[in-house]
Chain A
Amino acid sequence: MNWFGAEIDGPMVVARAVHFAATATTAGALMFRAVVAEPALRSDGKTGVVVDRRIRDLAWAGLAVALVSGVGWLLLQTSAMSGQTCGEVVVSGALITVLNETQFGLVTEIRFVLALALAICLAYDRLLLPRWLALGAALCLVAAIAWTGHAASTPHKLGYLHLTADALHLYAAAAWTGGLMSLPLLLKAVRHDRAAARTELDAVRRFSLLGMTGVATLVLTGIINAWILVGSFRGLIATDYGWILLLKIALFCAMVGFAAVNRFWLTPRLALPGNALRNLTRNTKAEIALALLVFAVVGVLGTLHPAAHLVK
């Protein structure tokens, strides 16, 4: 497939994009539960239980999609590395070679174990320790993605900075994504509650704080990553990698625009009569659509040679 003149491997991009979005949703939902839902609904027993269950279901759905897409990604990656088809790699031993002798394979094995641990913890979610372990496993599942990408192959000490920035970038993306998916669930459940207004406001304010921290982190770590992978303005405009990165940044700015409207215009008007909640929910859905596009773009970016290596 040829887009912007770049050779793009369709199935690989789809597998990666779906896997990243699903992993971010699962981890982000659990982060949202810990930081927003639980504190906001502490005094709200019945609604709290409903929201808790819905968020857990969201985490389950994300994990299931992450597992299936993760297996697909592994097969496609092994196929690309070995030059064999997906069917051949299973019988030929190429899959074993990738799993045992490459960093990508090793990280995939570790992430698979983390996913299983997360599944077990979600099954025992009523108990306190599994809840914390689930959050921990999900955070590790997200951060480990950094070891499958460009940051993992940056040599020397710069590699450590790159991996750190990339892991933080992934956390922030997960928090924002998971929060976007979870907030409407919470708001809908709370609306049926008579003491709705204050809980609603508390939840939305907490989510805004999580969101703003996420945006700041994405910007800072994004700049560090771009400095390492693009390195120059010329790299940004003279390579496919640069143009696709610019597309990602444009989508990000659009998301921030919707988030700003939600935070500074609609949130203060939530307690008043009117369409604030409906508009907030509609904007959130727009943000989710943009986030999925960002994951699609990231699915492409990781398969391309970084601009810094092409442009002096």
Chain B
Amino acid sequence: MLERAEPRVGNKIAAPPREVTLWFTQKLEPAFSNVTVTNATGERIDTGKARVSGNQISVSLRPGGTGTYRVNWRVLSVDTHTTNGNFTFQVGQ
């Protein structure tokens, strides 16, 4: 289950973030876990494969402008549960 994220779920931040990090209640399997991020115009702005470290998964972002960003995640925990979900956060004025 998703525990917390950075940028925070539903939050508003001033500048476009360089990466998005999600923390889960359980350790993750890199082979079957991924995160994608789209910006206000619907473009994919995540670059490269998501990096997993224990119960944490991060993905780097290229600049995406202002507006509502959407984070989509699909992860497999080490004890073989798959969960997915999404959330948004705001960038800019």
Q: Could you list which residues of chain A lie within 8 angstroms of chain B, going by C-beta atoms?
A: 77, 80-82, 97-98, 101-104, 148-156, 159, 302-303, 305, 308-310
Closest to B2 in A: A309
Contact, CB under 8 Å: B82 / A155: no
CB distance from A51 to the nearest CB of B (A): 39
Contact, CB under 8 Å: B29 / A152: no
Chain A residues within an 8 Å CB radius of B1: 305, 309-310
Closest to A154 in B: B26
Whole-angstrom CA separation of A152 from B54 in the bound complex:
11
Whole-angstrom CA separation of A171 from B79 in the bound complex:
20
Contact, CB under 8 Å: B78 / A104: yes
CB distance from B42 to the nearest CB of A (A): 25
Chain A residues within an 8 Å CB radius of B76: 81, 102
Total number of residue pairs linking A and B with CB closer than 8 Å: 59
B27-57 CB mask vs A (1 if < 8 Å, else 0) is 1011110000000000000000000001100
Determine if B86 is an interface residue (Cβ-Cβ < 8 Å). Answer: no
Residue from the list A77, A98, A153 in contact with B26, Cβ < 8 A: A153
Q: Could you list which residues of chain B lie within 8 angstroms of chain A, going by C-beta atoms?
A: 1, 25-27, 29-32, 54-55, 76-83
Whole-angstrom CA separation of A77 from B54 in the bound complex:
21
Chain A residues within an 8 Å CB radius of B27: 152-155, 159
Closest CB pairs A-B (n = 3): A101-B31, A153-B78, A153-B26
Chain A residues within an 8 Å CB radius of B29: 81, 101-104
Q: Are A102 and B32 also in contact (CB < 8 A) when A153-B26, A309-B1, A310-B1 are?
A: yes
Contact, CB under 8 Å: B32 / A155: no
CB distance from B51 to the nearest CB of A (A): 15
Residue from the list B31, B55, B83 in contact with A155, Cβ < 8 A: B55
Closest to B30 in A: A101
Q: Is the interface of A mostly helix, strand, loop or mixed?
A: helix
CB distance from B82 to the nearest CB of A (A): 7
Residue from the list A101, A149, A308 in contact with B79, Cβ < 8 A: A149
Whole-angstrom CA separation of A81 from B76 in the bound complex:
7
Chain B residues within an 8 Å CB radius of A303: 81
Residue from the list B25, B31, B78, B83 in contact with A152, Cβ < 8 A: B78
Whole-angstrom CA separation of A81 from B30 in the bound complex:
12
CB distance from A148 to the nearest CB of B (A): 7
Closest to A82 in B: B32
Chain B residues within an 8 Å CB radius of A155: 25-27, 54-55
Chain B residues within an 8 Å CB radius of A81: 29, 32, 76, 80, 82
Chain A residues within an 8 Å CB radius of B83: 305
Whole-angstrom CA separation of A80 from B1 in the bound complex:
18
Q: Are A309 and B25 also in contact (CB < 8 A) when A81-B76, A148-B79, A302-B79 are?
A: yes
CB distance from A177 to the nearest CB of B (A): 23
Whole-angstrom CA separation of A152 from B31 in the bound complex:
16
Contact, CB under 8 Å: A77 / B80: yes
Whole-angstrom CA separation of A151 from B79 in the bound complex:
8
Chain B residues within an 8 Å CB radius of A97: 31-32
Chain B residues within an 8 Å CB radius of A98: 31
CB distance from B22 to the nearest CB of A (A): 13
Contact, CB under 8 Å: B31 / A102: yes
Between B29, B55, B77, the greatest number of chain A beta carbons within 10 A of the residue's beta carbon is seen for: B29
